[in-house]
Amino acid sequence: MRNILGDNLTITLFGESHGEVVGAVLDGVAPGILVDHDFIKAQLTKRRPTKKIETARVEVDEYKIVSGVFNGYTTGAPLTIIIPNTNTNSKDYEKNKNLARPSHADYVAHVKYDGYNDYRGGGHFSGRITAAIVAAGAIIQKALMDKGIFIGTHILKCGNVVDSCFNDCLEEVKILQNKNFPVINDVESLMREEIENYAINHNSIGGILQTAVIGVPVGVGEEWFSSVEGKIANACFSIGGIKGIEFGKGFGFAELSGKDANDSFYFENETVKTSTNNNGGINGGLTNGMPIIFNCAVKPTPSIGLPQKTIDFEKMENVEIQINGRHDPAIIRRMAVVVDTLTAIVIADLLTIRFGRDYLKK
């Protein structure tokens, strides 16, 4: 099992959904970065579920930093953060422990780990682990903001409700920083109603997240196997519910000619810009100074209360399963801050490769 993301600046994950704690270790962090606890708490609040449209499992997420910080600043040593699990309900998983929940990791984990994996709440495969990502990554994201690099994600589509695409990226990203329901236009009530309708029917719904990264210098990234797209995609696909990603126009390029698809360059006050941003701020795997724009497809939450066909992998029988417990009818709102955080870690790692470890240092 590999739990490390990054090359120079890395994050390592540990813990299980119903274990004692979940946590993360940041390594390769520059010394002298201020740890803003208010920002960490605000980011964790964005990930925390809300009534009606998400799981009833609400954790207080009282994190504790146990290494790598002294007198409020990073020391340069590995930074370890832990978050206790205080609201588990393991009995929900006992009666179905040998049943493969459709679209979950239960069956494949059982095979890979010879049945020794922790099945409660999905164990180490659980979205609960993202709390540690958000807490640790918030330190990195705030350091990027202090360097003028801003990251924001909004719900572009949920079911049949659609938000506007990014237009005035910097202003919109800054507005999203203060929103727990991340949308640009006034569509929150419509999206909540859409999700509630699926919840009432014991079903779930997916959607599309759109992310913008503003302020990354030109020339960050590596061609071929360490391109900016490849690194971000690798991080986003580590989130279990994300099943697709596109940068800029993405699959829309299939309908364009080269003339319409190309982003023309021009000078504005001695700064190079492009007249369009169809390539999502990336050329040849490197940043070109324009906003990095990408979309992630989020599948419907696989845990639903409707009867489904599956297998009992101990008895080797075909059976029916109806999942009880506390689950999200839509995970997309809570996932937005996770995408922000992982993107921040990737960008920070690429910046350290380009400019050195101390780039994020004040």
Look at residue 128 in the predicted model and tell me its pLDDT.
92
Q: What is the token pair recorded at 27?
A: 């390594």
Can you give the pTM of this predicted structure?
Answer: 0.95
Q: Is the separation of the CB atoms in 182 and 137 below 8 Å?
A: no
For tokens 């101990």, name the residue: 314
| Helix, strand, or coil (residue 351) | helix
Give the start-to-end residue ranges of the domains of the chain: 4-360
- pLDDT per residue as tens digits for the range 32-87: 999 999 999 999 999 988 877 776 666 778 999 999 999 999 999 999 999 999 87
Q: Taking a C-beta distance cutoff of 8 angstroms, is the pair 29, 68 a contact? A: yes
**Alpha helix ranges (H) inside the chain:** 37-47, 91-94, 106-112, 130-146, 169-176, 188-200, 228-236, 258-261, 332-355
212, 169 Cβ separation under 8 angstroms:
yes
- Phi and psi torsions of 292, nearest 5°: -80, 120
Share of the chain above pLDDT 70, in %: 96
Distances in whole angstroms, Cα of residue 339 to Cα of each of 69, 133, 209, 259? 25, 10, 9, 32
Among the listed residues 151, 123, 119, 159, the one whose alpha carbon sits nearest the alpha carbon of residue 293: 151
Provide the pLDDT for residue 333.
96
Q: What is the mean pLDDT of residues 236-265?
A: 97
For residue 89, pLDDT over 70 is answered with no
Q: In this structure, which CATH number among 3.30.200.20, 3.30.428.10, 3.60.150.10, 3.30.70.2860 belongs to the domain 4-360?
A: 3.60.150.10
pLDDT digits (tens, 9 = 90+) for 182-215: 999 999 999 999 999 999 999 999 999 999 999 9
What is the C-alpha separation between 165 and 256, in angstroms, rounded?
19
Instruction: Return contacts of 114-118, CB within 8 angstroms, 24+ apart.
Output: 118/16, 118/17, 118/18, 118/19
Got the DSSP string for 244-299?
A: EEEETTGGGGGG--HHHH---EEEETTEEEES--TTTTEETTEE-SSPEEEEEEEP
Please give the pLDDT value at position 88: 67
Average pLDDT over residues 327-350: 96
Is residue 171 scored above 70 in pLDDT?
yes
230, 301, 33: which is closest to 145 by C-alpha? 33
Residue 183 and residue 188: Cα distance in Å, rounded?
Answer: 7
Q: Give the separation between CA 191 and CA 180, rounded to whole angstroms.
A: 13
Helix (H) / strand (E) element for 242: namely strand 242-247
Residue 34 DSSP one-character state: B
Interacting residues of 244 by C-beta distance below 8 A, sequence separation 6+: 296, 297
Q: Residue 203, exposed/middle/buried by CB under 10 A (0-12, 13-18, 19+)?
A: middle
Read off the pLDDT band of 351 (50, 70, 90).
very high
Q: Say how far apart CA 143 and CA 34 lie, in whole Å.
A: 8
pLDDT exceeds cutoff 90 at 236? yes
**Distance of alpha carbon 182 from the chain centroid:** 13
Mean pLDDT value of segment 159-169: 97
- Which range has the worst mean pLDDT, 38-47, 71-80, 97-106, 267-276? 97-106
pLDDT at 92 (0 to 100) = 66
Q: Give the burial class of 188: count Cβ atoms within 10 A of its Cβ; 0-12 exposed, 13-18 middle, 19 or more buried.
A: middle
203 contacts: CB under 8 Å, gap ≥ 6: 300, 304, 305, 306, 329
d(CA 206, CA 228): 26
Q: Taking each helix axis from N to C terminus, what angle separates 332-355 and 228-236, rounded to the nearest 10 degrees?
A: 140
- If one compares 75 and 97, the residue with the highest pLDDT of the two is 75
pLDDT in tens, 278-332: 999 999 999 999 999 999 999 999 989 899 999 999 899 999 998 876 678 999 9
